[in-house]
Amino acid sequence: MTADSGHARPVEDQATHPSGNLPGGLAETLRYGPFHRALHDAIAHRGLSLARLRAHLEQLGVQVGQSTLSYWQRGLRHPEVPRAIATVRALETVLKLPPESLVALVGNRPQPRLTRPGGWVAPVPVLSEFEAVGDVGANTDIEVLSVHDTVSIGPEREQRSISTRLVVRAAKAGPDRYLAVHQGDEGCLIDNALVRPGEGCRLGRLRRQLATRGLAFELLFDRRLAEGEEHVFSFTVVDDTGGPTPGHRRAFREPCRGYLLQLAFNRRALPARCTKQFRVDADAVPVDLEELVCGLGGFASAYFEDVGPGVAGISVEWT
């Protein structure tokens, strides 16, 4: 989240466009993109808060909301062409960037395909299994600070396991468990899925929904958390009976400071394409769509900062 440092530079000489004196990282993102990363790096380099940046733009006669600037630099929105081009050029002026450096990146982004990746389906209501027995409002007293999911994908392109580590904080005294939800891939036998608790928790109640390939399960802490207390715990879901995986996604009901998702592919079954995606809900058009590189080690990674509410994940396409 961008904060006002209180040390913004004056606007008097910001009409020039020096092409030099840019740090290597910023010069690289201006050349290769994506747009949101280049904008974020340029704002950070100039030491401007979003409020000060907006004020400088207003001095140039450009009206733009601070929330819009925030969405642009976080990749949650993208400037609309051609309506936003004048605003992007004004950003180049205020941020002292080479002419057309940001404009060139506005159209340089992957476009959503007409067909929706198979991994993006509406979440199933597996929470109702616990809500029916009195757990309405599960997790409401817990703030999720960060999540790290690692998905192992086998030689037959099947999802084999999802290992999750969470850092949470008690919003008030008393929470002693976390309710988690899992939905298997198409064709999986959800009755065969296993939940293996790791550090900081043990397995409580577990419910299965055959029709939706869903699991809902409790992870019990070893104590009730005090107000403001942070807790780290982990677990693994072993669910390896489905067909070729379309990727992985996680729904966030509340904002989360950071979400790291990694897909670990078997080297005998590497994907044709991996795409980082964020949607405000499962049926919406993605507002963040970015191609990912699957490296020689077989990992594709996506990091989402200040994510949610919404659905974040990686879509996978096979040859």
- Write down the domain spans for the chain: 24-106, 128-317
Q: List, for residues 207-240, the tens digit of each pLDDT value.
A: 998 888 889 999 999 999 999 999 999 999 999 9
pLDDT reading at 148 higher than 70: yes
Q: List, for residues 260-301, the tens digit of each pLDDT value.
A: 999 999 988 999 999 999 988 777 777 767 889 887 789 999
Mean pLDDT estimate for the chain: 82
pLDDT for 107 equals 64
Q: In this structure, which CATH number among 1.10.260, 3.40.30, 1.10.10, 1.10.1740 belongs to the domain 24-106? A: 1.10.260
pLDDT (mean) for 107-118: 44
pTM, whole model, 2 decimals?
0.61
pLDDT (mean) for 167-172: 94
Angstrom distance (rounded) from CA 161 to CA 151: 6
Angstrom distance (rounded) from CA 188 to CA 208: 12
pLDDT reading at 243 higher than 70: yes
H-helix or E-strand spanning residue 112: none
DSSP letters, 20-84, are SS--HHHHHHHHH--HHHHHHHHHHHHT--HHHHHHHHHHTT----HHHHHHHHHTSS-PPTTTT
CATH node for 128-317 = 2.60.40
